[in-house]
Amino acid sequence: MSGLRFLMVTTFYPPHHFGGDAVFIQRLSRALVRRGHRVDVVHDADAFRLLADREPAGRSPEPEGLTVHTLESRWPFGSCLLTHQTGRPVIHGRRLRSLLEDPAYDVVWFHNLSLVGGPEALTWGDSLKLYMAHEHWLVCPTHVLWRHNREPCTGRECLRCLVHHRRPPQLWRLGGKLQRCLGHVDALISPSAFSARKHGEFGLERPFEVIPYFLPDPESPDEGLAPAAPGGEGDGRPYFLFVGRLEKLKGLQDLLPHFRGPGETELLVAGSGSYEAELRRTIGDSSRIRFLGFRGASELRALYRGALGVVVPSLCYETFGIVILEAFREGTPVIARDLGPFTEIVQVSGGGLLFRSDEELAAGLSRLVGEPGLGRRLGAAGRRALESRWVEKATTPRYLDLVRRVAERRGRHDVARRTGQEEGVEG
């Protein structure tokens, strides 16, 4: 039995990426290759060049069976603007369409599509088509349901919101173009039940398959589950860790005041973004807060491993919480805002503490400092939950089972057989 041919379509892919969803797409692609399938990835380097405040890191070698196609032009701004405004790829349209219409691909899997192809790309080709919602682009022109750049969105005020985000309106959203294009997609996937519900609340009535993100298995050659051990960096003081883009919606500004005065612990901040200068101004000359900039995967693992806890204070509606899984991998507990998918991950795993108020955040930080046994118990619970729920061997079969079911519905029984999945995979 020969495996399937997959085409992943995504705006961002390592090393032209900002973390999170792009890293997951790489993990998913490599996991499929390990199961005997072939995967091509097409991504848009123009979008990264336009938005990034740094050069891309070096590209790590991909395994045999995984091929990366990079779309790149001499005019990144124009290329991205045209796609953003027209809802279709213009500069890279011919090359992308040739890939999407190639009958060699059994499955086309769309990811963060906004600047690589727009909704028009969903209509090209006759392969089985999946769409995974790594963000809320399907129902929000800013992708993040962060209204007026200051609060979680509870109702549409899109034109005013775009002004606050300093983004031009997308006229193609005013008609039914997106819904018509989605009619060409066989299945929609969300990484969390919360995000699936949120799409429905904002008018997308199609059902979602809920299948979470995952990390590699312990025996994976990529980045297995190494035993928890001392790590990190610093001057020897115990520290808490924040990992993520430095944007207002990530909520770091709510964490910083807890480390401004005297104390035994410090806060390490791994990441970069447009809000960094403002965050630096707010901390003054505090010696307990250190900005580390963008860090690679191996550096982050050491930082996670050495932390008392990882704080996840996002104010917006995330679709999942990959940072939480990465903390669990190192046996490190989390303190997460009681919002969106964080709630379900922490409650299911027992791997951390939740907070809703500044007082509850302060209490959580104090408990992990004053009760070392608590941190060890929470970290161990998170690691156990990760190894049973959110690793490759637990999750990849669910994706392949979805492909099998879609293929059966479309009458493509040969494709269904070549997934390597039997009926009855549990969700």
In sequence order, what are the residues at sequence separation of 6 or more whose Cβ sits closer than 8 angstroms to the Cβ of residue 68?
Answer: 13, 40, 41, 42, 43, 59, 62
| 36 and 159 part of one domain | yes
Domain count, the chain: 2
Least confident window among 91-105, 170-184, 365-379, 401-415: 170-184
Predicted local distance difference test score (pLDDT) of residue 228: 41
- CA gap 243, 360 in Å, rounded: 20
Structural contact between residues 10 and 41, judged by C-beta atoms closer than 8 angstroms: yes
Residue 424 lies in a domain: no
Considering the domain architecture, whether residues 69 and 211 belong to the same structural domain is answered as: yes
Judge whether 64 lies within some domain: yes
pLDDT digits (tens, 9 = 90+) for 359-369: 999 999 999 99
Distance of alpha carbon 376 from alpha carbon 343, whole angstroms: 20
pLDDT score recorded for residue 376? 95
Q: What is the average pLDDT value for the chain, to the nearest integer?
A: 91
Mean pLDDT of 222-241: 63
The pLDDT, as a whole number, for residue 286 is 83
Q: Cis peptide leading into 15, omega within 30 of 0?
A: yes
247 in Cβ contact with 214 (< 8 Å): no
**One domain, residues 398 and 379:** no
| Domain membership flag for residue 426 | no
d(CA 164, CA 32) in angstroms, rounded, equals 41
376 and 405 part of one domain: no
pLDDT greater than 90 at residue 186: yes
- Backbone φ and ψ of 90, nearest 5°: -110, -60
Residue-wise pLDDT tens digits, 129-144 = 999 999 999 999 988 9
Q: Is residue 222 part of a domain?
A: no
Residues 316 and 399 in one domain: no
Same domain, 42 and 170: yes
Residue 354 belongs to a domain: yes
Q: 310 in a domain, yes or no?
A: yes
Q: What is the domain range of residue 412?
A: 5-217+391-418
161-173 pLDDT tens trace: 998 888 889 889 9
Q: Are residues 275 and 213 in the same domain?
A: no
Same domain, 17 and 54: yes
If we measure between CA atoms, which residue out of 109, 45, 42 comes closest to residue 75? 45
Q: Which CATH number fits the domain that encloses residue 329? A: 3.40.50.2000
Digit-coded pLDDT (tens) for 46-59:
988 888 767 777 67
Does an H or E element contain 130, and which? strand 128-132
Q: What is the mean pLDDT of residues 376-389?
A: 96
Residues 15, 136, single domain; the answer is yes
State the pLDDT at residue 134: 95
In this model, does residue 224 exceed pLDDT 50? no
pLDDT at 221: 65
279, 249 in Cβ contact below 8 A? no
Residue 427 is assigned to a structural domain of this protein: no
pLDDT score for 229:
42
Q: Are residues 381 and 412 in the same domain?
A: no
pTM over 0.85: yes
276 and 334, same domain (yes or no): yes
In a domain, 205, yes or no: yes
80 and 93 part of one domain: yes
Instruction: Specify the 3-state DSSP secondary structure of 140.
Output: coil
Q: Check pLDDT > 90 for residue 407.
A: yes
Per the DSSP assignment, residues forming a β-bridge with 190 are 210
The residues facing 53 across adjacent strands are none
